[in-house]
Structure 1
Amino acid sequence: MAFDYDLFVIGGGSGGVRAARIAASEHGARVGLAEESRLGGTCVIRGCVPKKLMIFASQARLMTEEMRGYGWEGAEAGAFDWSVFRAKLDAELSRLELVYRAGLTRAGVDIHDQRAVIADHHTVELADGTRKTARHILIAAGGRPSKIGIPGEELALVSDDLFVMDALPRRALLVGGGFIACEFATILAGLGVETVQVYRGDAVLRGFDREARDLATLQLSQIGVDLRLGTTPTRLDREGDKIRVRFEDGTDERFDTVLFATGRIPYTAGLGLENTEVRLKPNGAIEVDEWSQTCVPSIFAVGDVTDRVNLTPVAIREGHAFADTVFGARPRKVDHSLVASAVYLRPHEVASVGLTEEQARAKGPVDVYATQFRPMRSAFAGSDAKVMMKLLVDPCTDRVLGCHIFGPEAGEMIQLAAIPIGMGATKAQFDATIAVHPTAAEELVTMRVPTRRHAEIAG
C-alpha cells in the first residue's frame, strides 16, 4: 500500500515537533503534522515559558526588599502594569511559535493547522474532512487541565487562562497544592494580587521530599499567600461581578477570580481511538511499551498523553528516541527512572532528582546527609529564609540515590547534580570534589557526616 506519509504526528507540542523534525531532517521520512491550536504546545504557549517569565516579573518586590537591606535607601518596585507585560509576553510567544514553525518547514514537514483524529490504524482525518494515510501515526496530543467536579466549577479558570487574562484580579482563590498551583500562587502574590490558596493535604508539593515540602509550605505563607491546608471548595456561585465560594467547613467567601490548578489529564478524548485497538489506562492515558509503541504496531505515543513522566524535556527525549528507533535504525529507549525536576517558587525554588528520603527508606537502609542554613546573600539583607541541601546515600554501595535542594536557583543546581547521580556517583566522589566558595552549592560536597541513618525498611 502506498501511504501519503511515512509518519503523521497528531500534536505540535515539544514531543511531537521533535519527533517530526528528526524523522524528516535526519532520517528522510515524509512527515505530516497536525496541530489544532498553536505550535509549541503547553510548554511554549501555556506553560513553562510564559510561567517562568511571569515568575521573573513577580520577584521585583522581593528584590527591592533585598536592595534596601544592602543600603539602597528608598528602593521601590513601583506599580506593576499587566498590560505592558502581557503585550511583551504575547510577542515573545509569537516569536517562539514562528521558530517552531520555521524548524518544521526547513525539515520538510507538512504542517496542517487544524485538528486531526484517527480514522483507522493508518489513517487520520483532518477537521476539513481531508484524510491522510501514514505508515506510522504518532500521538503527541499532550494533556489538559482538570477540575474537581463541584457545582459551579464552570465559573472558575484553569491554568491555561492565567496567561490571557485582560487584567489581574484584586482577590483570587487558587485551588491545588501541586507545582502549578504553588508557582501560580507565587506569581499572583508577587504581582500584588491578594491570593488565597487552598489544598486538602497537610503540605504542598505531594511527591517531593517531605523536608522540602515543609519548607515550601512555610515560604508560601511568608511571601504573603494566605495558604489554607486541609480544605477544599465544595460549590461556586456567581454574585454580581464576584464568585462566592463555599468550603468544606461550611464557610464561604467572595473572590474576583477562582483558578483551579488541580492537575492535568491526558488529552485523548475525541481522538478517534475507538476506531483502533489502542488500549487506555483508567485515567485516559495511552498505554505504551518501553519503545513508546501502543498495542497497535503502527501507532505510537509520546509525552503527557502517555502519563509516564509529564515534563517537557521527557517528551522531547521520547519524541527523539521514537524517530531514531523507527526511522533511523538506531533503537533507543528513554530511562524514566531518574529525571530531575524543579518548582520555580520565590525566593527559593524546590529541585529534586532521584529518590526522596521517604522512598529511599521504603527500599532499604539509607544514610541522610542534610543541612539547613541561611544563605549569605539574603541573610545579610535581613532575611530569615533558609536553604536546604540533602543527599541520600546507600550505605552498602556508597551510591548517591537522590538529591534535594530548597534554595535560590535550585533548578540550575539540580541540573548539574543530575549528571553525576545519573552516572552512579558515590558519596566518596562527591566528597573528593573541591568546593567552590562562597556558594550555597558547596554544601553538596562538604557534608561529611550523616545527620540521620535509617537502618531498616520503613513500615
Structure 2
Amino acid sequence: MSATAFDFIVIGGGSGGVRAARIAANHGARVAIVEADRFGGTCVIRGCIPKKFMVYASRFADEFASARDYGWSVEAPQFDWATLVANKNRQIARLENIYASNLEKAGVQLFRARARLAGAQQVRLDDGRLLRAPRILIATGGTPYRQAAWAGLARVITSEELFELPKLPPSMVIVGGGYIAVEFACLLQRLGCQTTLVYRGEQILRGFDQELRQGLAEALRAAGITLRLNTVIERFESRQDQLELHLNEGQIVRAHHCLMAIGRVPNTQGLGLADAGVAVGARGQIKVDRAAQTNVPGIYAVGDVTDRINLTPVAIREGHRLADRLFGQQAVYPDYEAVPTAVFTTPELGTVGLTQEQALAQVPAIEVYRSRFRPLKDTLGSSTQRVLFKLITDAQTQRILGAHMLGADAGEMIQLLAVAIKMGATKADLDRTVALHPSMAEEWVTLGHQPEKIIATAPAPAAVPLP
C-alpha cells in the first residue's frame, strides 16, 4: 500500500500536539494529526477543564454559607450531580469541536484513528492506511497509573471514570497525595461526598513548600476530610454496595468508591517505539534532548509523554517552539525556569520558583518574608480560614527566588507575579510598588521589612534551573 505523504505527522491530539500541528501548518507545512479519541487531550476532555468546572461547583458550598453573613437569605440549597455532569459534557463537546475546527482551518488533515510507528518516517493507522513524513512528533500525553490488583473492581476508579459517574457517591476514599488527590478530596467533600484521603507519605504534595503543605493539610481537616498519612491500603474487599479497604495499620475503612490518584505514566503503549528504535526510560517516558529530538533522527516528542514538567502550558510551549524550529527557521527553545503552577484545592495553592528547601540548596543564605492572616471577606462570618503569603529571596542580591500562596485566587496572583520573577525582580521592586487597597494581592507589596534570615547548613551545590 502506498503511503500518503506529509511534511509533518503528529501522533496525539492533546494540547502539545494540536499546537505543534497548527503552528507547523501556519508555517506552510503539510501536516497530519492522528488522534484515537477526541481532540483536546487529557486537559480538555478528562483533566484540567472538567476538573475546574467541578471545583467551581464545589466552592458554592462555601459561598452559600458566607452569603448569610452578608445578609442574604439562602434556604437549603440543593446540589444535583447529574446537572453538573450534563453541562460539563456539553461544554467539553463544544471545546473539542473548536480544537478540531481550528486545526482544519489551519489546513491540518485530521485522522481519527490509532497510530503506530512503522519505521523512522512512517506511521500506520489501525485501519491499514499508511502515512509518511520526514518528521514525526509523538504527543500522546499520560494516563492514570493502574494496578492489576484492582483492575476488576468496578468501585475502584481513576479520575477518568470519576468524571462520568452517573451519580455522586455518598462516600469516597482517595488514595494519593498529589495534585489530583487533594483537588478531588476538596471538591467531593464540598459537593456532599464524605471523603477520606489515604497517603503513604508523611505529608501531602511532595515537592511543594513545606509550610504550604502543612497549611493545606490543616485546611483539609477543617473541611471535614479525614486525612490518613503514612498509610497504605493492603487489600480491597467488595461488600454489597461498598468497598472495604484494609489499611496497613490494621484498620478497615468503608466507602462506596475508591479513587486511585497515585500518579500518571507516559502513554506510550502500542506506539511501536521499540520497533522504531526510540529510547524510553524506566517509566516508559520518551527520552528527548533540548530540541525535543529522540535518539532517532526525525522523531520528536513533547509534553507529558516525556515525563518532565507535566503541565499543559509546558506541553503547548514545547509544541509551539518545536514547530517554529522545524518549519519557521526560528532558533527558539522552551524556558523551564520559574514555571508557575496552581493546585485547585479550596483554599487554592499557587507557587512559582524555588521552595524554601530548594533555595537553601542553591544559595548560601535566604530571606523569608511571610504573612498569615484572615481575609477581609471572612471577617464578617465564622470562618477561621487563614491565607498564607510567602516570599523567598537571595539574602545577598534580594532577587526573588520563589513565591508561594495558600488562599483564594492564589493561581491568578501567582501567574502575574511569575512575570516579575522571570524579569529578575527583587524585594525592593515589590516594595516600590504602591498597594491596591483593599485587596489580598496588596500583601505581595506590603510584606514586612524584617524577614527571617536562614543560613544554609552546607555549601550550596551547583545551581540548577528554577522549577
- Is TM-score (shorter-chain normalized) higher than 0.5? yes
Corresponding residue of 2:21: 20
3-state SS of 1:37 partner: coil
1:394 pairs with 2:394: yes
The answer as to 2:161 corresponding to 1:161 is yes
Q: Runs of 5+ in structure 1 lacking a partner?
A: none
2:326 matches 1:326: yes
Shift of 1:241: 2.3
Contact 2:353/2:402 (<8 A) preserved = yes
Distance 2:366 2:149 in 1: 43
Q: What letter corresponds to residue 20 of structure 2 in structure 1?
A: A
User: Compared with structure 1, are the counterparts of its residues 402 and 148 closer, same or farther at alpha carbon in structure 2 (3 Å cutoff)?
Assistant: farther
| Gap change, CA 1:6 and 1:234, over 3 Å in 2 | same
Q: C-alpha separation between the residues in 1 aligned to 2:427 and 2:373?
A: 21
Identical aligned pairs, as a percentage? 46
Instruction: Give the structure 1 partner of residue 205 of structure 2.
Output: 205
Query: Counterpart in 1 of 2:358?
Result: 359
What is the alpha-carbon root mean square deviation over aligned residues?
1.6
The residue aligned with 1:85 is 84
Once residues 186 and 84 of structure 1 are traced to their aligned partners in structure 2, the CA distance between those partners, rounded to angstroms, is 20
In the alignment, structure 1 residue 410 sits paired with structure 2 residue 410: yes
Structure 1 residue 351: Cα displacement:
0.3
What's the CA shift string for 1:290-319, capped at 9, x where partnerless? Answer: 111111120000000011110000000000
Contact 1:281 / 1:287 at 8 angstroms: preserved in 2? yes
The residue that corresponds to 1:9 in the other structure is: 10
Partner of 2:373: 373
Report SS of the residue matched to 1:296.
Answer: coil
The 10-residue stretch of structure 1 (4-13 or 246-255) with the greater mean CA deviation from structure 2 = 246-255
Aligned residue in 2 for 1:298: 298
CA 1:76–1:149: 2 relative to 1, 3 Å: farther
What is the TM-score normalised by the length of structure 2? 0.95
Once residues 77 and 433 of structure 1 are traced to their aligned partners in structure 2, the CA distance between those partners, rounded to angstroms, is 45
Deviations along 1:204-255, whole A, 9 cap, x unmatched?
A: 1111111111111111111121111111211112222222211111222322
> Contact between 1:244 and 1:255, CA under 8 Å: does it hold in 2?
yes
* Equivalence for 2:141: 142
Name the structure 2 match of 1:194: 194
How much does 1:56 deviate? 0.6
C-alpha distance in 2, partners of 1:425/1:101? 40
CA distance in structure 2 between the partners assigned to 1:117 and 1:458 by the alignment = 50
Q: Could you tell me how far apart the structure 1 residues matched to 2:120 and 2:379 are?
A: 61
Q: How does 1:53-452 map to 2 (within 5 A)?
A: 53-73=53-73, 75-76=74-75, 78-147=77-146, 150=149, 154-155=153-154, 156-346=156-346, 348-364=347-363, 365-452=365-452
- Following superposition, the deviation at residue 276 of structure 1 comes to 1.9
Question: How far off its partner does 1:380 sit?
Answer: 2.2
For structure 2, list consecutive stretches of 5 or more residues without a partner in the other structure: 460-467
SS at match of 2:361: helix
Q: CA 1:67–1:333 in structure 2 vs 1: closer, same or farther (change >3 Å)?
A: same
The structural deviation recorded for 1:397 is 1.5
What's the TM-score once normalised by structure 1's chain length?
Answer: 0.96
Secondary structure (helix, strand or coil) at the match of 2:22 reads helix
CA shift, 1:147, in A, is: 3.4
| 1:36-65: CA deviation from partner (whole Å, max 9, x where unpaired) | 111100000001100000001111211111
Aligned counterparts of 1:236 and 1:70: Cα–Cα separation in 2: 46
The equivalent of 2:463 in structure 1 is: none
Structure 1 runs of 4+ off > 6 angstroms? none
Task: Compute the displacement of 1:277 (Å).
Answer: 2.3
In the TM superposition, what is the alpha-carbon distance from 1:151 to its structure 2 partner? 5.7
Taking the aligned partners of 2:89 and 2:295, their CA distance within structure 1 comes to 40
* Residue 150 of structure 1, CA deviation: 4.7
In structure 1, C-alpha distance between the alignment counterparts of 2:277 and 2:149, rounded to whole Å: 33
- Please state whether the residue corresponding to 2:163 is helix, strand or coil: helix
What is the number of residues matched between the two proteins? Answer: 456
CA distance in 2, matches of 1:224, 1:404: 25
3-state SS in 1 of match to 2:304: helix
C-alpha displacement at 1:122, in angstroms?
A: 0.3
